[in-house]
Chains A and B, each alone.
Chain A
């Protein structure tokens, strides 16, 4: 009997199973359990959440394998982990540890300022960030099986994630309406692989799931991203930087599922404490903008 592992369908399918769910950043086993209990569909194991990476400065790397392992042992939901952009070996190490998904992430300091990882060469699937359809199509071309907006991580400010989700979706609509000759020129403008754009045109949608990430700080933020067409939500600093993480996490999960039930969102947004403080984009210098890394 022929058994095939690591196929495109199995990699992309894993992300399909996450749809409508919330993937939460956690830094230890205890947080992972809180996330699972709240109804997270997966956790992202890392050493520091993005807002702490911002504060700490220096070089941010793949998490200590001990943390990843502790999180894997603590929960039965999928465990994701971040590798630096272009860091083939960090990714291979995470694959060897059998993490369920690798985030080749701009939240960490890029290891390669030109190339991303050739993700097709791996059995483990990858998720990558994107700000527009050009980036999205390049990452898919490299083998990413899931996308997410970059947003601006660790800011608690949703504006960049909104911008990226709206832009990608409007560009997808444009591609769908284009004639084949227009498509080639648009591929040139976006720096996107023509074949990927053609696939999008034929299918009428992106070939992989696209989640919202980077700045989700409240249940209403999560619901807003679903309203704008996100397939699900990543929450980084928002949960464990809030006053009551367990309740906060649960509220974000419910707001994501019931994103058009406004009475329910009002109800579950009561008494969940203060969300993280947040940063206005005008206070971030060019060097502090994580979204401009690895484009």
Chain B
């Protein structure tokens, strides 16, 4: 039996994550409500708009449910998902889920005209990985328990802390399955 991983499906690049996870050997289901978390072994927080996702999570009790879920299970956040996972967000009073001991800056590379693609080396994942950065955040600083997996121009853009994985770019927009496979392996290891 392969593991079942959920994708938070309030808004954003949901179908791309579903495809990438399925191609990496996982079963996938969508999470729109707290009850959808039952039976999942891991959760992906996709790219999209973090402010919108947080507002909807608050309205129907999903926020606490995801926090509880994350106490036991692996979580992978991309772009907006990374912001949701951070313990500190520049210019914002208080974090969202506060899972990862990192301090992030939103829209850190600028507006959409500054969005870009660049080759990255991701430790333990891939030497040549195309990072797609869209109005992307970066990690300003990380706690000592956080393992840095990739940097771009001196800024942390992928990291891991135990069962939590996060990146500032969009692996779901590329055909390279390496990072999703890495997460599926991580979920398997925490079974």
The answer to whether A and B interact is yes
A-B interface pairs (CB < 8 A), number: 124
The DSSP consensus for interface residues of chain A is loop
- A5, B10: Cβ atoms closer than 8 Å: no
State whether the Cβ of A39 lies closer than 8 Å to any Cβ in chain B: yes
Which residues of A have CB within 8 Å of B116? 3-5, 7, 10
From A17, A20, A36, B134 is in contact (CB under 8 Å) with: A17
With A and B bound together, what is the CA distance between A257 and B10 in angstroms? 6
**Interface residues in A, total, Cβ within 8 A:** 39
Which residues of B have CB within 8 Å of A254? 56, 59
With A and B bound together, what is the CA distance between A6 and B114 in angstroms? 8
Whole-angstrom distance between the Cβ of A77 and the nearest chain B Cβ? 6
State whether the Cβ of B177 lies closer than 8 Å to any Cβ in chain A: no
From A1, A7, A37, A124, B112 is in contact (CB under 8 Å) with: A124
State whether the Cβ of A41 lies closer than 8 Å to any Cβ in chain B: yes
Which residues of A have CB within 8 Å of B14? 19-20
State whether the Cβ of B93 lies closer than 8 Å to any Cβ in chain A: no
Whole-angstrom distance between the Cβ of A260 and the nearest chain B Cβ? 10
Whole-angstrom distance between the Cβ of A86 and the nearest chain B Cβ? 21
State whether the Cβ of A169 lies closer than 8 Å to any Cβ in chain B: no
Which residues of B have CB within 8 Å of A7? 116-117
Whole-angstrom distance between the Cβ of B29 and the nearest chain A Cβ? 15
Closest to B120 in A: A1
Which residues of B have CB within 8 Å of A123? 113
Closest to A101 in B: B112
Which residues A1-56 have CB closer than 8 A to chain B? 1-7, 9-10, 13-14, 16-21, 36-42
Which residues of A have CB within 8 Å of B48? 17-21, 41
- A78, B112: Cβ atoms closer than 8 Å: yes
- A20, B112: Cβ atoms closer than 8 Å: no
- B52, A41: Cβ atoms closer than 8 Å: yes
State whether the Cβ of A76 lies closer than 8 Å to any Cβ in chain B: yes
- B113, A5: Cβ atoms closer than 8 Å: yes
Known: A10-B134, A16-B173. A40 touches B52 (CB 8 A): yes
Known: A5-B115, A76-B106. A41 touches B11 (CB 8 A): yes
Whole-angstrom distance between the Cβ of A200 and the nearest chain B Cβ? 17
Whole-angstrom distance between the Cβ of B53 and the nearest chain A Cβ? 9
One digit per residue, 1 when the CB lies within 8 angstroms of any chain A CB and 0 when it does not, for chain B 113-148 equals: 111111100000000000011110000000000000
From B10, B114, B135, A78 is in contact (CB under 8 Å) with: B135
State whether the Cβ of A98 lies closer than 8 Å to any Cβ in chain B: yes
State whether the Cβ of A125 lies closer than 8 Å to any Cβ in chain B: yes
- A100, B111: Cβ atoms closer than 8 Å: yes
State whether the Cβ of A95 lies closer than 8 Å to any Cβ in chain B: yes
Closest to B54 in A: A39
With A and B bound together, what is the CA distance between A18 and B16 in angstroms? 13
State whether the Cβ of B188 lies closer than 8 Å to any Cβ in chain A: no
Whole-angstrom distance between the Cβ of B135 and the nearest chain A Cβ? 7
State whether the Cβ of B55 lies closer than 8 Å to any Cβ in chain A: yes
With A and B bound together, what is the CA distance between A46 and B14 in angstroms? 30
State whether the Cβ of B47 lies closer than 8 Å to any Cβ in chain A: yes
- A14, B51: Cβ atoms closer than 8 Å: no
Whole-angstrom distance between the Cβ of B31 and the nearest chain A Cβ? 12
One digit per residue, 1 when the CB lies within 8 angstroms of any chain A CB and 0 when it does not, for chain B 35-66 equals: 00000000000011101100110010000000
With A and B bound together, what is the CA distance between A19 and B134 in angstroms? 14
Known: A20-B9, A21-B11, A124-B113. A14 touches B134 (CB 8 A): yes
State whether the Cβ of A161 lies closer than 8 Å to any Cβ in chain B: no
Which residues of B have CB within 8 Å of A186? none
State whether the Cβ of A253 lies closer than 8 Å to any Cβ in chain B: yes
Which residues of B have CB within 8 Å of A5? 113-116
Which residues of A have CB within 8 Å of B132? 9-10, 13
Closest to A205 in B: B15
Given A124-B113, A253-B56, 4 more contacts at CB 8 Å?
A14-B134, A17-B13, A17-B47, A258-B32
Pick 7 A–B contacts, CB within 8 A, sort by A: A1-B119, A13-B13, A14-B112, A20-B11, A39-B52, A123-B113, A257-B11
Q: Which residues of A contact B (CB under 8 A)?
A: 1-7, 9-10, 13-14, 16-21, 36-42, 76-78, 95, 98-101, 123-125, 253-254, 257-258
Please provide the 4 A-B residue pairs with the shortest distance between their CB atoms, ordered closest to farther: A100-B112, A20-B11, A39-B55, A41-B49
